[in-house]
Amino acid sequence: MQRSVSSKPVLYLRSFLFWIFFASITIVFALLLLLSFPFPFEKRFILTHTWSKLTIWWLGATCKLYYEVQGQENIRHGAGIVFAKHQSTWETLTLNFWFSPQTWVIKRELMWLPFFGWGAYMMEPIALNRGAGRKAIEQLVSQGQKRLDGGRWIIIFPEGTRIAPGKRGRYRIGGAVLAERTGYPVYPVAHNAGEYWPRRQFIKMPGVIKVRIGPAILPEGKSAQQILAAAEDWIETQMAQITTLAKHEHGPVESNQGASD
């Protein structure tokens, strides 16, 4: 594909239009989620999924930022544990396209954020106090077992926080302990969203985010350390292949490649 250069004013305008819409529907859907408390989780999840789909559609329409995904055939029927790279807000919006319904493992402090935190609370996350050490892992295993047995996917960012493109964080053992004790498979996910939707930056760069979903890592016969090492190796190997770090000057792409509900 031939690349074209977008001027800074155009990028700012596109991003401004995106942020106005994103902020508005986030407030609206957070309030709708609060009002949905009498309904079961599955009904509330429809609201979250709709919010994600609208945001990603508008992201493409305004910022010309799309995605392609490979490896959906690796997803088995039933619940599992997702170990995803965390570079951006983008993956928090899109992982429910492929792993649904889902529950996040999040830092407890995120629950205190206006609107976003309120909406997150209604989706019954596993909110951990990261400073609690072993107690946090026991909480993850206890609550995670219930969510998994109830048919929900568990979304974990094993590095614990957003990591800049080209960097590598320390992979934490908690999610692997959950897999070891519950017997549910781990699905590693790599992507390069941080190169287009960087942390704490206003501008969204046009282009195509690459997402890779790996084969299930079956925990049977493996220790938590072995499960974590297998997931980390797969993710970081894929990241080395899809990370470009070059300045993005992508031209528009007409539709999301490989998008699915």
User: pLDDT value at position 257?
Assistant: 45
Look at residue 2 and tell me if it is in a domain.
no
> Whole domain around residue 177: which residue ranges?
8-242
Give a yes or no: residue 257 inside a domain: no
Q: Quote the CA–CA distance of 24 and 21 in Å, as a whole number.
A: 5
Name the least confident of 35-39, 59-63, 108-112: 108-112
Better-scored residue on pLDDT, 238 or 136: 238
The confidence band for 161, taking pLDDT boundaries of 50, 70 and 90, is: confident
Share of the chain above pLDDT 70, in %: 89
pTM over 0.75: yes
> Pseudo-torsion of CA 112, 189, 67, 57, nearest 10°?
-30
How far apart are the C-alpha atoms of 94 and 203, rounded to whole Å? 19
Does residue 68 sit within a domain?
A: yes
249 inside domain: no
- The pLDDT of residue 217 is 97
Q: Between these two residues, 3 and 103, which has the higher pLDDT value?
A: 103
- Nearest alpha carbon to residue 182 among 214, 134, 135, 150: 150
Q: What's the sign of the alpha-carbon dihedral 138, 140, 141, 145?
A: positive
Whether residue 192 is contained in a domain is answered as yes
Q: What is the CATH number of the domain that holds 192?
A: 3.40.1130
Is residue 48 in a domain? yes
pLDDT, tens digit, for every residue of 15-25?
Answer: 999 999 999 99
Number of domains in the chain: 1
Question: What's the pLDDT score for residue 136?
Answer: 87
Q: What is the pLDDT of residue 5?
A: 52
Instruction: Establish if 78 belongs to a structural domain.
Output: yes
From 138, 161, 243, select the one nearest 195 (Cα to Cα): 243
Give the C-alpha separation, 1 to 5, whole Å.
Answer: 13
- 199: exposed, middle or buried (Cβ count in 10 Å: 0-12, 13-18, 19+): middle
Instruction: Give the helix/strand (H/E) hosting 183.
Output: none
Average pLDDT on 133-145 reads 89
DSSP-H helix ranges across 158-223: 174-182
Mean pLDDT over each residue of the chain, to the nearest integer:
87
Question: Would residue 261 count as lying in a domain?
Answer: no
Confidence band, pLDDT 50/70/90 cuts, at residue 119 = confident
- Residue 94's φ and ψ, nearest 5 degrees, are -105, -20
Average pLDDT, integer, range 236-251: 73
